[in-house]
């Protein structure tokens, strides 16, 4: 783990990590600062107190929940670093590094059903309930009173777009060119999604723009769901950025949901060890943050992201210890097989795999990078009334839609990885098709 680019003096700050001063770059997520400083364990799991480190860097896995300046359960992968920020790991005793409750994991290798423990044994049952109540929950109450909530902001638009990745951005360009006003909500600090942060892909545009800006783009804005009330339907989102979080309601008759997908995890023993990373988290670390997460990673997965990640890591100076294609139709000449087990105390140190002809091998490595197509983010679409369908060729459930992205929910279109992740170019194509259909609807 090392920084590829030194932090410039004017951006250099220190955060307080349980009494230790950790150097950071102003504004980068504190999970990145801690990783760059060699801290792999940021939290402990709730029940078995297994060590947890960042996996997705996208507020989706909960492996990085920390107490920040007295507020519990914040995603360290989303908290910007600033001088003096107080970071504490939670859910452990006496410390997350050496947690005595980790013994639960050793004592119950087959799992522990605390609901059934000592049930029916009068005194023991009462003691067990007391212990379970004491151990349950995550974090302690905040130190201070939360800031007063601001009233929600309300916007009205003909078309609301959720997600500013390849699909949402391509759709915005089509709408802009046709002069159709829209509001686009993007969780990140900039548009582009994996074009900007993912493993480099062929056909990625050199620059990212939103055409003639017929629309309003809101960055740092996370979509929560698509709701309806007496005045119609609206996207509910939380806007963050520099100010305190504020609820944003975007009212519209038509919606394009281009929310991408979630990082997939392969099933293998100890796949939750710190040092197991989602591929897009790794490309984000290298491309945006200038941090190389491993010198000798095992890169496993399939599809275009596998090749792209190996190239990205190699160009950044890493020497992959293993490249394994786990897909159903591996490329000619690729080492193929499946992952069996990750090894290490507190973080990944080796990986066991089964390769062709049932040969097992154990490879020393300092990280495991899972380069897999994302699992479609269908939640908001289903919330709005769309249906899902199983895509056997991808092995995922995706939103069911026609060729233009039209779903079973009236006025709700879907584009990009939510239809089944393939390439950024195909995601952009689906965004353009949906936008053209929306242009026709608005004009009708
Ligand atoms: S939620 Fe922060 S790393 Fe996954």
Least confident of 124-133, 231-240, 286-295, 339-348: 124-133
- What's the rounded mean pLDDT across residues 278-287? 96
Tell me the average pLDDT across 14-38: 97
141 C-alpha to center of ligand 1: Å? 21
Of ligand 1's atoms, which has the minimum distance to the CA of residue 62? 1
Give pLDDT, residue 46.
85
57 within ligand 1 shell (Cβ under 6 A): yes
Q: In what order do the strands lie in the sheet with 159-162?
A: 216-218, 182-185, 159-162, 254-257, 412-414
Percent of the chain with pLDDT over 90: 69
Q: Is 227 left (phi over 0), alpha (psi -120 to 50) or beta?
A: beta
Ligand 1 proximity of 56 Cβ (cutoff 6 Å): yes
Q: For residue 164, give the nearest of 437, 438, 443, 424 by alpha carbon.
A: 424
Q: Which residues of 330-347 are buried (b: 16+ CB within 10 A; e: fewer)?
A: beeeeebbebeebbbeeb
Q: Please, what are the domains in the chain?
A: 2-135 (3.10.20.440), 153-262+374-443 (3.50.50.60), 276-371 (3.50.50.60)
Tell how far the Cα of 68 is from the centroid of ligand 1, in angstroms: 15
CA of 77 to the centre of ligand 1 (A): 6
191 lines ligand 1 (CB under 6 A): no
- Which pLDDT score, from 0 to 100, does residue 34 have? 97
Q: How far is the CA of 281 from the centre of ligand 1 (A)?
A: 9
210 has pLDDT over 60 = no
The pLDDT tens digits of the residues spanning 307-340 come to: 999 999 999 999 999 999 998 888 877 899 999 9
Atom of ligand 1 nearest to the CA of 55: 3
pLDDT of residue 212: 47
Residue 64 Cβ < 6 Å to ligand 1? yes
Confidence of residue 36 (pLDDT cuts 50, 70, 90): very high
* CA gap 86, 71 in Å, rounded: 10
User: Is 168 in a helix, a strand, or coil?
Assistant: helix
61-75, 121-135, 379-393: which range is least confident on average?
121-135
Output DSSP code: residue 135: H
Band of pLDDT at residue 206, cut at 50, 70 and 90:
low
280 lines ligand 1 (CB under 6 A): no
What is the number of other CB atoms lying within 10 angstroms of the CB of residue 435? Answer: 31
- Centre of ligand 1 to C-alpha 146, Å, is 23
Q: Is 277 in the pocket of ligand 1 (CB under 6 A)?
A: no
Check residue 19 and give its pLDDT.
Answer: 94
Residue pLDDT, tens place only, 379-410: 999 999 999 999 988 889 999 999 999 999 99
* pLDDT surpassing 90 at residue 259: yes
Rounded CA separation 161/425 (Å): 18
Instruction: Specify the pLDDT at position 209.
Output: 63
Ligand 1 centroid – CA 247 distance (Å): 22
> What sign does the dihedral 112-114-120-125 (CA atoms) show?
positive
Tell me which of 33, 60, 80, 138 to substitute to probe ligand 1's pocket, judged by most ligand atoms within 8 Å of the beta carbon. Answer: 60
Q: Which of 407, 345, 416, 348 is nearest to 381 (CA)?
A: 407
Q: Is the CB of 437 under 6 A from ligand 1?
A: no
Using the predicted structure, report yes or no on whether residue 110 has a pLDDT greater than 80: no
For residues 185 and 187, give the distance between their C-alpha atoms in angstroms, rounded to a whole number: 7
Instruction: Tell me: pLDDT of 162 over 80.
Output: yes
pLDDT value for 205: 66
Among 32, 57, 280, residue to substitute to test ligand 1 (most atoms within 8 Å of Cβ) = 57
Which ligand 1 atom is the nearest neighbour of the CA of 281? 3
């Amino acid at each position: 783990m090392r920084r590829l680019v030194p932090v410039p003096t004017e951006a250099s700050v220190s955060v307080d990590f349980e009494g230790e001063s950790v150097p950071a770059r102003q504004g980068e997520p504190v999970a990145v600062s801690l990783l760059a400083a060699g801290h792999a364990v940021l939290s402990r799991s709730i029940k078995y107190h297994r060590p947890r480190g960042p996996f997705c860097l996208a507020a989706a896995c909960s492996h990085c929940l920390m107490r920040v300046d007295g507020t519990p359960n914040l995603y360290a992968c989303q908290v910007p670093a600033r001088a003096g920020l107080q970071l504490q790991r939670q859910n452990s005793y006496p410390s997350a590094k050496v947690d005595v409750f980790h013994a639960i994991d050793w004592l119950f290798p087959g799992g522990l059903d605390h609901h059934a423990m000592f049930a029916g044994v009068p005194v023991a049952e009462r003691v067990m309930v007391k212990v379970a109540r004491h151990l349950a929950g995550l974090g302690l109450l905040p130190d201070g009173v939360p800031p007063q909530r601001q009233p929600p902001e309300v916007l009205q638009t003909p078309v609301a777009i959720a997600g500013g990745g390849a699909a949402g951005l391509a759709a915005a360009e089509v709408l802009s060119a046709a002069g159709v006003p829209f509001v686009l909500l993007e969780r990140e600090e900039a548009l582009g999604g994996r074009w900007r942060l993912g493993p480099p892909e062929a056909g990625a545009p050199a620059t990212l723009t939103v055409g003639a800006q017929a629309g309003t783009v809101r960055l740092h804005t996370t979509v929560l769901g698509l709701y309806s009330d007496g005045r119609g339907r609206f996207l509910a989102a939380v806007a963050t950025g520099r100010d305190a979080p504020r609820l944003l309601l975007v009212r519209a008759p038509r919606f394009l949901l281009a929310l991408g997908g979630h990082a997939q995890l392969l099933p293998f023993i100890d796949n939750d060890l710190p040092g197991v990373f989602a591929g897009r988290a790794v490309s984000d670390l290298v491309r945006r943050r200038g941090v190389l997460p491993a010198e000798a990673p095992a890169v496993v997965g399939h599809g275009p992201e596998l090749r792209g990640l190996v190239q990205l890591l190699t160009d950044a100076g890493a020497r992959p210890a293993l490249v394994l294609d786990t897909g159903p139709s591996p490329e000619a000449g690729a080492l193929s097989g499946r992952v069996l087990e990750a090894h290490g105390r507190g973080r990944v140190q080796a990986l066991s795999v089964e390769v062709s002809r049932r040969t097992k091998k154990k490879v020393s490595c300092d990280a495991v990078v899972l380069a897999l197509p994302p699992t479609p983010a269908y939640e908001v679409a289903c919330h709005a009334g769309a249906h899902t369908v199983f895509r056997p060729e991808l092995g995922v459930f995706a939103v069911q839609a026609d060729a233009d992205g039209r779903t079973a929910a009236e006025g709700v279109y879907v584009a990009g990885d939510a239809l089944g992740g393939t390439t950024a170019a195909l995601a952009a194509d689906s965004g353009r098709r949906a936008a053209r259909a929306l242009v026709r609807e608005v004009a009708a």
